[in-house]
Structure 1
Amino acid sequence: MKRYGLYPEMRAQGDWCICGSESGEPKEWLFLGRLAEYGRRYNVRFDATREKVMAIVGKRGQGKSYTLGSVVEGLCTSDSESAIAATSKQRGVLLFDTLNIFQWMNVSVFSTGPQSAEMRNQAAVLQSWGLPPVALDVDVWIPAGYRYRLSSPTFKDLYLNVPDFSLDDWSSLLDLDIVRDIKGQYFTEVFQKVVDLGWTDMEGSFHRPKRNYTISNLVECIQNDEDNELSVYRADTRRAVLQQLRAYERHPIFSGSGTSLRQLIAPGRASVVLLNSLPEDLRGVLVSVIVKRLLQERAEASETVKDLLINPDLDEDQIKEKEELVARSVPKAWVVIDEAQNIVPAGKRTSATTSLVRFVKEGRNFGLSFVVTTQQPRALDPNVLSQVETFVVHKLVSQSDIDYILDNLKSPLPTEIKDDNISISIRELIRDIGVGQAVVSDTNTSRCFVMEVRPRVSAHGGFEA
């Protein structure tokens, strides 16, 4: 693979170049790859001690998802120290897989039994780097009702918790404009009656508001609200909303009590959520609901930990109660979205936009990290990219995308770049790098550098078949 001359030379610590570290040798690190520059081929460690926001970008087929897989592997190794990472195993990983290509992360490239030519190829690449097999802790989740007939029986069913749905979530799922659309206005009234105000049925019985509501509660209000007799809303408007709700009332994803965050996110494990088969509206709402809940629970846990550390006036009972809450809380976590422009695009508000932008801006305060990939940096909401601390830039060819990335890079550019002793610009470098190579820029790194990404230890599903 081609190497480039970038100057001044990168400073190394022993056998490693450190990326993303605020102070010296990191306590927790991920093995990202090795320098693809003239001189010694130092391996690259990424500091994972503290919370991060990372973006992996590049045109189709250049290795974005592969790189993302390498990052996630380091976060879910079975052992706290291995050839690819050293972590405390106190953080979980939640990967939203929009293309369903990470469902084989629990398959080692060195798996026993007959292997296809593709898997032999992946194993050979790993062996060429001298890396041993590394065990990973991975769970694969599939939204209930979207399991293929031949889906693996080891996949876990994911259920949504209806009370987590806000009015905005329902308006997105039902495709209602709650301000301009008459159906949206009517649903808003029903939702507020069921959740916030309470309502009276046709027999005069008052139904108290329910924060822990069900779809059946919404249906019942539409059918039996005493205000129906004098309502400004026509019967066909009420009937249209009722039919939409009944369809979701029967949907498997809303059956049961919902999958808890503690089930979905466990310390030291990666949970891959397969989203490819979901309709676009449900996909966005699913991400929004889970991310909102995670941010809320982590904020409460973080505040409680701080109170335990700071407040001198807590008595023994209060301390015990707060310690129990922390013990029950969802762990610190990495939230990862592949091809995120499909979930939180630029110039278009989706059901997930508000939740994800808030998550990216506030999450690090509560122990939450964020990683995204995209083929088109300009197609991703700029409020997300503005928070990125680490860019991993695979080959790009669009001038507008290259310019956009260069405007947002976090570390100084090299003073000189050479390709076979010919001076080139950073734009030419980004256009020229090969598959599996990337330009890396990080807030706490002395300059941008070129890296060859570490081979995966688990099966990569991002090839054509």
Structure 2
Amino acid sequence: MSDHLKPIGGNAYRGKEPIEGVFVDSVGKHLVVGQRDQSKRSGASIFLGKVGERVPSTEYFDYNVWLDAEFPHVVFVAGKRGSGKSYDLGIVLEGLSATDGNFSMKPSGFSSVLFDLQSQFWALGGTLNGQLAADVAQVDKLAKWNVKGAVKPPVLFLPVGSNPITGTERPMTVPPSSLELEDWLSLLGTKRFEAMGQAIATCRQVAVRTKPNFEIADLVAILQRPQQYQDLATFQQSTFDAVLWRLMALDETGLFKGGQSVLDDILTPDRCSIVLMRDLPEDLKAVTVAVLMRQIERAMSRHHQQRKVAARTGAPEDRSKPSRIWVMIDEAHLVCPAGDKTSANEVIVDYVKRGRDAGLSLVLATQQPSAIDASAISQVDVTILHKLTIDADIAAATARLPAPLPSSTRVREKDISDPKLLVRELAPGEALISDSEASRTFVLRLRPRVSPHGGGEPML
């Protein structure tokens, strides 16, 4: 059905060098970024938009641009507020959750999870209303592009203690026993070799030994009776008190409780999960991301190992988990900062390193590229870059483009060779897209979404 996508036409950027190294279907006028096997069209891909520039020797203007979803990717999306950064995440999520239509080619068994730090993706999968002012332009663009189809609504998870948005959210807690030492250090605002860090490390060891599925109340009880545990004999009472106050404050949030983990729900094949996190303090956001990403990586690693063993031995294959999972983080600089590290930094970096063998893709989106941990985006193979205006952010973002920028681009009757000027020229809905296998970065015009975007301007 993808052949029925309409050409858009209009003004185009003009690049100096040809676009090479990406899979091109000249008959259907499709171009696939991220595809590593050039012998045939990817069996799983997501329609992103159209080539927005004319190039010498080969004419790809208005070709349909698809993102390969079969190979595990690390995708970096950057842009100032209002440029379309979060909209891109919605496009990818729609492609992964499509039930029919001409904007996705996806086999069954793919799943996705979005850590929605601003809680703006609750409307994903809903129906556009042509009578609603916020939807009118989107409905018109869909008709112009001839993008058609439907999206399976996501499962919304709401951390306990947060304010509901739709009333359909599932409550979510984080079992204290699932937290690693780094998570506790982050929550308590201490370091491994400080007195409080040593105290919580030792207390946690005692709890694991005596009650593996411990609650915060069990940690409190241990610290209130330290004389019963030889491991705690060397600590000062003032250290115990400082840890106790923080633990009791965490317990009052209601977030850290034992019970059923949401992991099995998230790892349901063909499911999109969205964790609505706006109401969580920054440190709790980071820990929630760290815990769930760590669990996803470990579970998917075991799953793919079992599949490989089954293929070799003829044993029954476990089909209860997705073959691929895409994890996305909006405003990623808040949980994976370049400065003071959170417990999520190391987990995200580890996820990136191990992802290929476990079918793990990652999409990190930010409006402050200079504020995100460089290690987390060191393995990026696809970048989508929208308009930026701060020099430090432009420098950080263009440094992470996996393909070179064009030496010169003609934009609205002027030739631009300075990357800073080119990035500043991008209009809403336009982006530079860069693929590690492509000969150069090129201009992309993003498609309209088929479901409402919860972000944007406030209603008057």
> Conserved in 2, the CA contact under 8 Å of 1:97 and 1:273?
yes
2:357 corresponding residue in structure 1: 365
2:107 corresponding residue in structure 1: 88
- My pick for the range that moved more, 222-231 or 296-305, is 222-231
2:212 corresponding residue in structure 1: 211
Distance 1:237 1:408 in 2: 44
Query: What is the deviation of 1:225?
Result: 4.1
The one-letter code matched in structure 1 to 2:51 is L
Question: Out of 69, 85, 90, which is 1:69 matched to?
Answer: 90
1:222 and 2:241 aligned: no
> Conserved in 2, the CA contact under 8 Å of 1:344 and 1:350?
yes
1:176 corresponding residue in structure 2: 190
1:289 corresponding residue in structure 2: 291
Instruction: State the percentage of identical aligned residues.
Output: 32
1:122 and 2:138 aligned: yes
Question: Out of 436, 439, 442, which is 2:435 matched to?
Answer: 442
1:104 corresponding residue in structure 2: 123
Query: What is the deviation of 1:129?
Result: 1.5
Query: What is the deviation of 1:333?
Result: 0.7
Classify the secondary structure of the residue corresponding to 1:78: strand
Classify the secondary structure of the residue corresponding to 2:342: coil
Query: What is the deviation of 1:241?
Result: 2.5
- Summarize the Cα distance change of 1:351–1:410 in structure 2 as closer, same or farther, 3 Å threshold: same
Query: What is the deviation of 1:239?
Result: 3.4
Question: Out of 128, 136, 141, which is 2:152 matched to?
Answer: 136
Question: Out of 381, 384, 390, which is 2:376 matched to?
Answer: 384
Query: What is the deviation of 1:256?
Result: 4.5
Classify the secondary structure of the residue corresponding to 1:335: strand
Deviations 1:148-188 (A, max 9, x none): 4xx322111112122211122112112233312x3332222
Question: Out of 54, 60, 78, which is 2:99 matched to?
Answer: 78
Question: Out of 170, 175, 180, which is 1:156 matched to?
Answer: 170
> Conserved in 1, the CA contact under 8 Å of 2:179 and 2:291?
yes
The one-letter code matched in structure 2 to 1:299 is S
Matched ranges for 1:408-427 at <5 A: 408-420=400-412, 422-425=414-417, 427=419
Q: Which runs of 5+ in 2 are unaligned?
A: 1-9
Query: What is the deviation of 1:249?
Result: 3.6
**What's the TM-score, normalizing by structure 1?**
0.87
Distance 1:135 1:345 in 2: 33
Query: What is the deviation of 1:227?
Result: 4.0
Distance 2:229 2:440 in 1: 67
Structure 1 vs Structure 2 CA RMSD: 2.3
> Conserved in 1, the CA contact under 8 Å of 2:407 and 2:417?
no
> Conserved in 2, the CA contact under 8 Å of 1:186 and 1:233?
yes
> Conserved in 2, the CA contact under 8 Å of 1:284 and 1:352?
yes
Matched ranges for 1:310-325 at <5 A: 310=312, 312=313, 319-320=315-316, 323=317
Asked which structure has the greater CA Rg, the reply is 1
Classify the secondary structure of the residue corresponding to 1:263: helix
Distance 1:16 1:457 in 2: 20
- My pick for the range that moved more, 364-373 or 182-191, is 182-191
Classify the secondary structure of the residue corresponding to 2:255: helix
> Conserved in 2, the CA contact under 8 Å of 1:261 and 1:330?
no
The one-letter code matched in structure 1 to 2:217 is S
Distance 2:422 2:348 in 1: 32
1:253 and 2:274 aligned: no
Q: Which runs of 5+ in 1 are unaligned?
A: 197-208
Query: What is the deviation of 1:191?
Result: 1.3
2:68 corresponding residue in structure 1: 47
Distance 1:364 1:164 in 2: 24
- Summarize the Cα distance change of 1:178–1:405 in structure 2 as closer, same or farther, 3 Å threshold: closer
- Summarize the Cα distance change of 1:102–1:227 in structure 2 as closer, same or farther, 3 Å threshold: same
Classify the secondary structure of the residue corresponding to 1:21: coil
Classify the secondary structure of the residue corresponding to 1:163: helix
Deviations 1:45-89 (A, max 9, x none): 11111111101111221111111211111011124xx21101013
